[in-house]
Structure 1
Amino acid sequence: MRDFNATRKAGTETGEAPPDAIFTGPLAYMHNLVSTAQLKILLERKADLVLVNVLDRPEFAQEHIPGSINIPVAEIERIAPQLIKSSDLIVVYCRTSRCRASAVAADKLSTIGYDNVMRYSAGIRGWKAADLPVEGLYTDTRRAA
């Protein structure tokens, strides 16, 4: 998956968006962050939430937080309305706290009318660093490098 921070820097430095950029502007919305402990509690309580991994499908297949669905950030505006009700609590996540895809996805969801959007900014690596389980082809729960 492409580094969204690098894309943004490239667009900002030249004043133009790179031709393959998915997102180039500033984020319009600020989203509440959910911690690893908070997300774990929400999942244990089987809270009414939709947990969305916004990475590409191959990355999702490799590993993801149990119970999450996959909607790649590039497709979120098209696919989310088919799978998620506007009243749902949505928690989006990506790879790490340095990955910008979850922030972009949260912003896109808010733009198309979703009001209950939160970000799990620690991502899959933060989840694994807390020794929590993952699903997928690669299910080693040791700390991610």
Structure 2
Amino acid sequence: MADKEISYADLKALLGKSQSLLVVDVRSKEEVDRGHITGSIHIPVDTVESALALDPEEFKTKYGVTKPPLDAPELVFHCQMGRRGGVATDKAHDLGFLKARNYAGGFKEWSEKEGR
């Protein structure tokens, strides 16, 4: 479904203006250590479900950011190429985060467009 995805241009625009945007990097720690989208938080894909099930206080303690509400309009997952981000987005939808989206271009596209 297209509405479950966000483009590079849309994500870039949100990063510039949105206070409530939460970008979740679901790649492995090794991948994240090689580079990441500024401002993103790291929740590996296999822990997304348990992370989103934490109560808000635990979530904030663990990830350093406020847990998004179920109706968060700007919750974006991404991985390297799009597949794991899609898996994470589906998990979020299953948990009731109905507006969660996947940045399908992933960090691969991001780093190409950002020139790093």
Q: Which has the higher contact order (CA 8 A, sep 6+)?
A: 2
Q: Is the 8 Å Cα contact of residues 32 and 118 (structure 1) preserved in structure 2? A: yes
1:1-145 paired onto structure 2 within 5 Å: 30=1, 31-82=3-54, 83=59, 84=67, 85-88=69-72, 89-96=74-81, 99-131=82-114, 141=116
Q: Which residue in 2 is equivalent to 1:138?
A: none
Root mean square deviation of aligned Cα: 1.6
Q: Is the 8 Å Cα contact of residues 71 and 80 (structure 1) preserved in structure 2? A: no
- Indicate the SS of the match to 1:130: helix
Distance in 2, matches of 1:56 and 1:131, equals: 21
* Deviation for aligned residue 1:56: 1.5
Q: Is the 8 Å Cα contact of residues 78 and 103 (structure 2) preserved in structure 1? A: yes
* Deviation for aligned residue 1:47: 4.2
Question: Which amino acid in 1 is paired with 2:83?
Answer: R
Gaps of 5+ in 1: 1-29, 133-140
Distance in 2, matches of 1:64 and 1:101, equals: 15
Q: Name the structure with the higher helix share.
A: 2
| Per-residue Cα deviation, 1:38-72 (whole angstroms, up to 9, x for no partner) | 11000001342210001112222221100100111
Distance in 2, matches of 1:123 and 1:80, equals: 21
TM-score norm. by structure 2 comes to 0.79
- Indicate the SS of the match to 1:124: helix
Higher Cα Rg, which structure: 1
Distance in 1, matches of 2:97 and 2:103, equals: 16
| Per-residue Cα deviation, 1:59-88 (whole angstroms, up to 9, x for no partner) | 222211001001111000001233333232
| Per-residue Cα deviation, 1:92-127 (whole angstroms, up to 9, x for no partner) | 11002xx41011100111111111111111111101
Percent identity between the aligned chains?
Answer: 30
